[in-house]
Amino acid sequence: MVSKSTGSSSETRVGVDVGGTNTDVILVTEDDEFTFKTPSTADPSQSTLTGIVEVCQLAGVEPADVDQILHGTTVATNALIEHEGAKTGLLTTDGFRDVLHIGRHRKPHSFSLQQTISWQEQPIVKRRHRKEVTERIYPPGDVITPLDEDAVLKQTGDLVADGVESIAVCYLHSYLNREHEDRTKELIHEQFPDVSVSTSSEVVAQFREFERFTTTAVNARLEPVMSTYLTRLSDGLADEGFDAEVLIMQSNGGMASVQNVAERPVTTLVSGPAAGVLSAAFEGEHVDEPNLVMLDMGGTSADISVVPGRVLERDPRDSTVGGYPTITPMLDIETIGAGGGSIAWFDDAMGFNVGPKSAGANPGPACYARGNDQPTTTDAQVVLGRIDPDSFLGGDLDLEPERSREALQTQLCARTDQAQFETPEQAALATLEVANTNMYRAIREQTVQRGYDPREYTMVAFGGAGPMHGASIAEKLEVSTVLVPPSPGIASARGLLTGNVKYDYQQTISSPLEEVDGEFIEDAFERLEARGREQLERDEIDPSRWEFRSSVDCLYDGQGYELNIDFDGTDGDWHARLRERFEERHEAEYGHYFEADPVELLNVRVTAIGDVESYAPPEIAADGALEAAKTTESTVVFGTPDAPEKLTVPRYEREKLTAGTEIDGPAIVDEFDSTVVVNPNWTATIETNGSIILTTEER
């Protein structure tokens, strides 16, 4: 797929996002913008490279003229989920080799005798490679047993002899005192220079050993994989004549240098989805809507994120990837199993379900005719006439719409002994209703439960399926505006262009707030800032573009869940200021606070930001005639499962729509990688940058 339009950027930059199915590429020059899509390859550096080379050819840009390549990668995620990665060892405090195995001792399923647990079934480090070392640090950071350096070398020697390539060093309370971990790393580097080492105090200096140890072990396991990948990519780029700066998207929504990511791959586990959130935030900013709900719906799942004026980070205690806790900062993205491939089915007690079973992208929906005959949400859209089988994916994929109808008929209508819908249309509307409800609930959990009123929000819907479902979910949420960005299938790649370099640093203090000395805390912040400055210098970002944000995590003494609040220095009665801010936050979050209870300051945090190039999207032509974009009229079913309404609606080709145009629903806008459904009672307005704004008066 190719497209070309006019934009503006002072440099030539390429964004490349590798997804499970496709690799999406976008190139911007001073006045042009080009996009390209190519199937992802088993070795993702290939399709990444192909995509970059092809988009340059398309744009007529010489490789040497590209200034910056911004990359969203699933290398770390896939390696973790598919249990690949380096043979990894662990050095830990004597008596604690099984922390990684016991976890928090909670079973993922409360009602199950047959379940397996990922960290026991597929350990990041096998038990035989988890070695103990005599040493002990005890709060508040005292060394009560010195490090046995001979044991470090002996255990490392055994691990190396057994083929271990990467070692995680995880000692208890190292977040309070990193001396033993640092020394261990030094010893290993001296004696075994080829072995990668990740220490828990470097990767994530926070208390709670299972989560910190696991995050560190994941990092150790992924480090050689990521290094190899980045080296291969860099070499490939060099061979093709590229000399651009390469930056990688991290889970926290910030870019990082290749050097940083090679050492800290665990920070990229939700790289692609994070770029999606940035894309949503960017689109919102463009139309002056700060409060956003992102819905990125693809073939197998939907990513949901709420942006209340700023991108949110996930509570580290809820952060898991592939069943493993990974507590590095990541944007707050909820993934649910609702996609174009989600299957609709009746269970034994006549409950009607959509998902979690999915036909995914392969074999895909029944209409793909690749061997799945179960009806999916895509099949429902086909039966309802919303997807045009002839123009699906630009006609690249032949759909067989009769298979959609047959699947719905056979599985949901014709079953004599069981519940049934009368017609495939009713079954299709019911399928969408349940799928939309699942997404609506997930959005409610992210908004209403956290005190954000979605009615004041704009939904940004993208991904292949997002623009088909957006307005219907918005109706449930009483959201009156839905924004569909241009080429919604590559929104994440575009988001890459809007990111800044961003590094997070944190340190556990764990002290009563009132007792924290001003000088002490300023020192702690200064040390974290120094690490940020060092990294930004290594990245060669001009100091005029640096920014540092400071915050603290507080909780009432004795509680277990901290709340993050801004820190604005130690002027005046800063203790009282922090306390007040904490109480406000506690009340907003939980509905109450305690006036007299002691507050604990748990962590200090610094985010170091390096502002990189900004992105301005190209403008599309204005004031064309709507009729010129109209392709045909077709029958599309709206309404409810009880009362389907067959309507004759116009279809438009998105590329031909011009800025300022308005389309009254019901209508369908077709484009290469998506379909925008304009529901009855909704109006679509085309923005100057090509975005479609769907609005409704009805709430």
Residues 558-587 that bind other proteins (CB under 8 A): 558-561, 586
Comparing CB distances to other proteins, the nearer of 21 and 353 is: 353
Q: Which stretch binds other proteins (CB under 8 A): 46-54, 119-127, 224-232, 278-286?
A: 119-127
- Regarding 173 and contact with other proteins (CB under 8 A), the answer is yes
Six-digit token string for 291: 């409060």
Comparing CB distances to other proteins, the nearer of 193 and 560 is: 560
Which residue do the tokens 């859209």 mark?
381
> Which one among 4, 107, 370, 699 touches other proteins, defined by CB under 8 A?
107
Strand 136-138 and strand 142-145: the pairing is antiparallel
Half-sphere exposure of 324 (CA within 13 A, CB side): 29
> Which one among 183, 357, 581, 585 touches other proteins, defined by CB under 8 A?
357
Q: How far is the CB of 381 from other proteins (least distance, A)?
A: 17
Q: How far is the CB of 409 from other proteins (least distance, A)?
A: 17
Q: Are 380 and 344 in contact (CB under 8 A)?
A: yes
Residues 131-150 that bind other proteins (CB under 8 A): 138-139
Comparing CB distances to other proteins, the nearer of 117 and 659 is: 117
Residues 208-267 that bind other proteins (CB under 8 A): 208-210
- Regarding 117 and contact with other proteins (CB under 8 A), the answer is yes
Comparing CB distances to other proteins, the nearer of 173 and 221 is: 173
* Strand-pair partners of 505: 606
Q: Which stretch binds other proteins (CB under 8 A): 9-17, 36-44, 91-99, 280-288?
A: 91-99
Cβ neighbours of residue 602 under 8 Å, at least 6 residues apart?
Answer: 508, 509, 510, 552, 553, 554, 555, 562
- CA dist 17 and 37 (Å) reads 10
| Three-class secondary structure of residue 83 per DSSP | coil
Comparing CB distances to other proteins, the nearer of 190 and 642 is: 642
- CA dist 189 and 169 (Å) reads 12
Six-digit token string for 57: 């050819």
Residues 200-219 that bind other proteins (CB under 8 A): 207-210
Q: How far is the CB of 63 from other proteins (least distance, A)?
A: 49
Q: Are 554 and 578 in contact (CB under 8 A)?
A: yes
Q: How far is the CB of 579 from other proteins (least distance, A)?
A: 16
Cβ neighbours of residue 413 under 8 Å, at least 6 residues apart?
Answer: 420, 421, 422, 423, 424, 426, 427
Q: Which stretch binds other proteins (CB under 8 A): 103-111, 240-248, 371-379, 680-688?
A: 103-111
> Which has the closest alpha carbon to 258: 498, 48, 18, 73?
73
Q: Which stretch binds other proteins (CB under 8 A): 346-354, 364-372, 455-463, 688-696?
A: 346-354
Q: Which stretch binds other proteins (CB under 8 A): 224-232, 413-421, 566-574, 672-680?
A: 413-421
Cβ neighbours of residue 613 under 8 Å, at least 6 residues apart?
Answer: 9, 10, 11, 13, 67, 68, 497
Residues 487-516 that bind other proteins (CB under 8 A): 510
Strand 546-556 and strand 599-610: the pairing is antiparallel
Cβ neighbours of residue 124 under 8 Å, at least 6 residues apart?
Answer: 88, 100, 214, 217, 218, 221, 324
Can you spell out the DSSP letters for 322-347? TTEE--S--B--EEES-STTEEEEE-
Residues 419-438 that bind other proteins (CB under 8 A): 419, 430, 433-434, 437-438
Residues 20-39 that bind other proteins (CB under 8 A): none
- Regarding 99 and contact with other proteins (CB under 8 A), the answer is yes
Q: How far is the CB of 638 from other proteins (least distance, A)?
A: 16
DSSP letter (8 states) at residue 415: -
- Regarding 351 and contact with other proteins (CB under 8 A), the answer is yes
> Which has the closest alpha carbon to 8: 619, 659, 686?
619
Residues 538-557 that bind other proteins (CB under 8 A): 556
- Regarding 350 and contact with other proteins (CB under 8 A), the answer is yes
| Three-class secondary structure of residue 507 per DSSP | strand
- CA dist 490 and 657 (Å) reads 19
> Which one among 60, 64, 83, 102 touches other proteins, defined by CB under 8 A?
102
Four-point Cα dihedral 581, 584, 587, 592, nearest 10: 80
> Which one among 39, 64, 82, 128 touches other proteins, defined by CB under 8 A?
128
How far, in whole angstroms, is CA 357 from its chain's centroid? 22
Residues 428-487 that bind other proteins (CB under 8 A): 430, 433-434, 437-438, 441, 444-445, 448-449
> Which has the closest alpha carbon to 619: 582, 659, 653, 587?
659
Comparing CB distances to other proteins, the nearer of 221 and 654 is: 221
Comparing CB distances to other proteins, the nearer of 42 and 350 is: 350
| Three-class secondary structure of residue 315 per DSSP | coil
Strand 692-696 and strand 32-39: the pairing is unpaired
- Regarding 531 and contact with other proteins (CB under 8 A), the answer is no
Q: How far is the CB of 337 from other proteins (least distance, A)?
A: 10
Comparing CB distances to other proteins, the nearer of 235 and 318 is: 318
- CA dist 567 and 632 (Å) reads 58
Residues 604-663 that bind other proteins (CB under 8 A): 641-642
Six-digit token string for 168: 């995680």
In the structure, how many helices (H) and strands (E) does the chain have? 17, 33
- Regarding 595 and contact with other proteins (CB under 8 A), the answer is no
> Which one among 37, 97, 605, 654 touches other proteins, defined by CB under 8 A?
97
The count of other CB atoms within 10 Å of the CB of residue 179 is 16
Strand positions, DSSP E, 542-690: 546-556, 563-566, 599-610, 630-639, 644-653, 662-664, 667-671, 674-678, 682-686
Comparing CB distances to other proteins, the nearer of 207 and 574 is: 207
Q: How far is the CB of 698 from other proteins (least distance, A)?
A: 15
Comparing CB distances to other proteins, the nearer of 175 and 242 is: 175
How many chain residues are in contact with other proteins, going by CB under 8 A?
72
DSSP letter (8 states) at residue 640: -
Helix axes of 424-446 and 401-408: crossing angle, nearest 10 degrees: 90
> Which one among 21, 61, 81, 126 touches other proteins, defined by CB under 8 A?
126
Comparing CB distances to other proteins, the nearer of 42 and 161 is: 161
Q: How far is the CB of 640 from other proteins (least distance, A)?
A: 8
